[in-house]
Structure 1
Amino acid sequence: MEKNKKIVGLCGSLRKGSYNAMLLKVAASLLPKDIDFEIAHFDDIPVYNADHDLPAVEQRPDSVTQFRAILASADAFIIVSPEYNYSIPGGLKNAIDWASRGKDSPMLHKPVAVMGATQGQWGTVRMQTAFLPVFTFLNMNPVLQPEVLIAQAQNKFDEEGNLTDERTIQIIRQKLDHLIKASKV
């Protein structure tokens, strides 16, 4: 019996009521039923320090080991994030730094789709562009089209966190379809 494909999601915002957390939930709800989905949380991961990473030490911090195990179970990733200072939020970048180290990196060679929502006008375009060198280093397969850049998110989600913009929902569906196709080797 063949196991289901699994997609792991990462949300770059730790804020309660985050539009990006809402977007990740929307994306998960749009996945086909035969795709397993899990969110990898990283709010308890320490700041990256090579002195606490392999092979310098015998064991990484427990929170890092658990985070990397979730990532290792993925066939593909969805990264949903706001844009901080025209780039990747520090907490998310730190978590990926922990996950990217070593020949056993759980992110190597895997497909990834990036999406973002913001209350501003640019829809996280700079954050998404900032990920390209990270994906190159990890030899990942980024699904670049269609771009999911949700500007003025406050006008596209209702109070319950539902995405109400049908055009955006269709673009997300297309992006997910491309990600699923990219994960089938």
Structure 2
Amino acid sequence: MANYTLLGLSGSLRRASANMQLLREAARLFGDCDFDLGDLNLPLYDGDDEAETGVPDVVQTLAEMIETADAVMISTPEYNKGPSGVLKNALDWVSRVKNNPWNGKPVAVMSAAAGRAGGERAQMVLRGFMVPFRPRVLQGPEIHLADCNNQFDDAGHLTGEVYLRELAALMQALRTEIERQ
């Protein structure tokens, strides 16, 4: 079995956020892989700054991480019925690099939110944001982790059997999509 490289992108900057935990749990359930988290703590996109100084090195690094990963997992919280500004800003910045690192890239999307819908609206909007990049976004199973602050044990593992089963199925689908390349 191949050892794949997975990149996780969390729409939350907090190290202990449920979205970070969800990405780590997804990588664990994926199985043997090299897993890294991308840094989305980027300057706000400003076309004038880009014209003066170019694309920042931290954005170039993120774009290179996306390009070299075998697949990308994105987990977003839901803020005001959409993905976080942090995530949208990162997507806007990466769109400014010379080559599109997303093109044809297998991508698994998930969400974790405190509300009862688990970020369902944010995930739907995020899927729309990805269209111009032309990645291979998996259609499911969909992971909308509701009441996210009460879904992990002290070791950071999901406790709900349904969530565990669905996340494992999503990771198997991601593995299958990688192998199709």
Using the size of structure 2 for normalisation, the TM-score is 0.90
Secondary structure in structure 2 of the residue aligned to 1:6: strand
Are 2:126 and 1:127 equivalent residues in the alignment?
A: no
Check if 1:70 corresponds to 2:65.
yes
CA distance in 2, matches of 1:178, 1:110: 14
More helix per residue: 1 or 2? 2
Letter in 2 for 1:171: E
Match of 1:50 in 2: 47
Q: Which segments of structure 1 move beyond 6 Å, counting only runs of 4 or more?
A: none
Map 1:4-83 to 2 at 5 A.
4-33=3-32, 35-43=33-41, 45-53=42-50, 56=51, 59-83=54-78
Gaps of 5+ in 2: none
Q: Distance in 2 between matches of 1:8 and 1:15?
A: 17
Q: State the match for 2:152 in structure 1.
A: 157
Q: 1:179 to 1:3 in 2, by over 3 A?
A: closer
CA–CA distance in structure 2, aligned partners of residues 32 and 161 of structure 1: 16
Distance 1:36 1:121 in 2: 32
Aligned-partner SS, 1:144: coil
2:35 is paired with a residue whose SS is strand
AA at the equivalent of 1:104: N
Give me the whole-angstrom Cα distance separating, in 2, the residues matched to 1:182 and 1:52.
38
Matched letter for residue 101 of structure 1: R
1:32 Cα offset (Å): 2.1
SS at match of 1:115: strand
Matched residues in 1 for 2:13 and 2:97: separation? 26
Structure 1 residues 102 and 16 mapped into 2: Cα distance closer, same or farther (>3 Å)?
closer
Structure 1 residue identity aligned to 2:169: Q
Gaps in structure 1 of 5+ consecutive residues:
none
Residue number in structure 1 paired with 2:86? 91
Partners in 2 of 1:57 and 1:138 — Cα distance?
A: 25
Matched, 1:173 2:164: no
What is the identity percentage for the equivalent residue pairs of Structure 1 and Structure 2? 36
User: Could you say if the C-alpha distance between residues 3 and 32 of structure 1 is closer, same or farther in structure 2, counting changes exceeding 3 Å?
Assistant: closer
Q: Quick check: 1:135–1:141 contact (8 Å CA) kept in 2? A: no
Post-superposition offset of 1:117? 1.3
- 1:140–1:155 Cα change, 3 Å: same
DSSP 3-state at the match of 1:38: strand
Deviation track 1:60-88 (CA, whole Å, cap 9, x = no partner) reads 21211222121121121100111111111
Amino acid at match of 2:28: S
Q: Distance in 2 between matches of 1:133 and 1:51?
A: 26
